Amino acid sequence: MEIKSKKLVTLDEYIIQSQNKFPGATGELSQLLRDIGLAAKIISREVNKAGITNILGVHGSTNVHGESVKRLDIFADQQLISALDRSLITCMVISEENDGIVRLNSEGGKYIVYLDPLDGSSNIDVNVSVGSIFSIYMRQPRYDQNLVEEDSLQPGSRQVAAGYVLYGSSTILAYTTGLGVSCFTLDPSIGEFVLSNSGFKIPEKGTIYSINEGSYNSWSQGLKKYIKYCQEDDPETGRPYTARYIGSMVADIHRTLVKGGIFIYPSSSRYPNGKLRLMYECNPLSFIMEQAGGTAIDGKNRIMDIRPEAIHQRVPIYIGSPENVKMARSFLEKYEEETVG
């Protein structure tokens, strides 16, 4: 009996095939995605051998948010920015590791890229999954061509592409250009990202909730009531739900996409505006989630409709399967939004 092997489609091949569907496409966005893919391979290599290359541990500095910076944070930031700079089609980068905008060598480039170079880096030293997040915008035309921070302050609905890379038991890259979500797995034997799932879809409803329950006392009454609802025993609705929280947003969101459910990082008495960053965490992952059939809100409104006021702006987020997010919103609306603590 002859066994026919499945043809492998690499990330580069898939990007080119997708580009060919659009007459007149210049290939610049395709090049940008390939540049990010190359940087992701280099970061994946270093993450996998971090323990033997002296790249673990704290760098000794803090980022704009006052958070301790890991050595791998710096390495990932440098690799991604360097990759984007080489092709001369990106004019500026905004990264979690940098205070303001980073001007690249081509100020005439048409793309603006937001980066979280290594999300969940507090997990690095204990060998838990981490990830990279990217969000791509078109630069808005102006008569004055000088680059300013305001050029980058666009709502998430204007993203032309977004994605993440998960460095876990395998390295996975998922991205969207607004035509669904495609996932690729890095095959170390050939050094290429290989298509593993196109047209990725999240279940309409899931039985997993993901939240840091150590902050329970600082939540709103509506959120407390919703979490208690998730924990109640009701076999007809699949409850109690299972609690899963990794502490790396990319890993938590990837699990939510695969299995369904909801991921929550709310506002609290400690973080009244939420803790996660709108532009390089919530917007790109919301774009991915919506393209996979999911929902992402700040508790009331769609995340990608928020008009940003600052590049490092924070927001609360409720993201995941449509039915789960809808139920969470109903509890938030039913009970007062006052926090305790």
E strands along the chain, which residues?
58-62, 68-70, 90-95, 102-103, 111-119, 130-138, 159-167, 171-176, 181-187, 192-198, 208-210, 242-243, 262-265, 295-297, 317-320
* Stretch 101-129: mean pLDDT: 88
Per the annotation, binding residues for Mg(2+) are: 96, 116, 118-119, 281
217/191 same-domain check: no
* Stretch 238-246: mean pLDDT: 95
Model confidence at 205: pLDDT above 90:
yes
* Stretch 114-123: mean pLDDT: 89
Distances (CA, A) of 174 to 161, 163, 164, 201, 320: 11, 5, 6, 12, 16
Residue after which a domain boundary falls, among 166, 198, 230: 198
Alpha carbon distance 84, 88 (integer Å): 7
Q: What pLDDT score was predicted for residue 330? A: 96
CATH number at residue 148: 3.30.540.10
223/174 same-domain check: no
Q: What pLDDT score was predicted for residue 105? A: 86
175/242 same-domain check: no
185/220 same-domain check: no
Q: What pLDDT score was predicted for residue 57? A: 46
Domain hosting 316: range is: 208-334
Report the percent of the chain where pLDDT is more than 90.
71
180/300 same-domain check: no
Distances (CA, A) of 75 to 40, 181, 333: 11, 27, 43
339 is a domain residue: no
pTM of the model: 0.91
2 is a domain residue: no
107 confidence band (pLDDT: 50, 70, 90): confident
Q: Give the model confidence (pLDDT) of 14-62 as tens digits.
A: 998 888 776 666 789 999 999 999 999 999 998 887 655 554 444 444 5
234/122 same-domain check: no
Q: What pLDDT score was predicted for residue 1? A: 45
Per the annotation, binding residues for substrate are: 119-122, 212, 245, 275
* Stretch 3-16: mean pLDDT: 81
Model confidence at 4: pLDDT above 60:
no
Q: What pLDDT score was predicted for residue 48? A: 83
101 is a domain residue: yes
Q: What pLDDT score was predicted for residue 267? A: 94
> How many C-beta atoms lie closer than 10 Å to residue 203's C-beta?
20
240/309 same-domain check: yes
105/229 same-domain check: no
212/190 same-domain check: no
Mean pLDDT of all residues in the chain? 89
169/266 same-domain check: no
Alpha carbon distance 55, 121 (integer Å): 12
312 is a domain residue: yes
255/218 same-domain check: yes
Residue after which a domain boundary falls, among 163, 198, 233: 198
Task: Give, for 75, the enclosing helix (H) or strand (E).
Answer: helix 71-86
5 is a domain residue: no
Q: What pLDDT score was predicted for residue 26? A: 77
CATH number at residue 223: 3.40.190.80
194/56 same-domain check: yes
Residue after which a domain boundary falls, among 173, 198, 223: 198
Name which of 154-158, 262-266, 268-272 the model is least confident about: 268-272
Per the annotation, binding residues are: 96, 116, 118-122, 212, 245, 275, 281
118 is a domain residue: yes
Report the percent of the chain where pLDDT is more than 70.
89
Q: Give the model confidence (pLDDT) of 131-153 as tens digits.
A: 999 999 999 876 566 788 899 99
341 is a domain residue: no
314 is a domain residue: yes
Q: Give the model confidence (pLDDT) of 54-97 as tens digits.
A: 544 444 445 444 444 578 889 999 999 999 999 889 999 999 98
Report how many domains make up the chain.
2
Torsion of CA 181, 155, 64, 92, to 10 degrees: 80
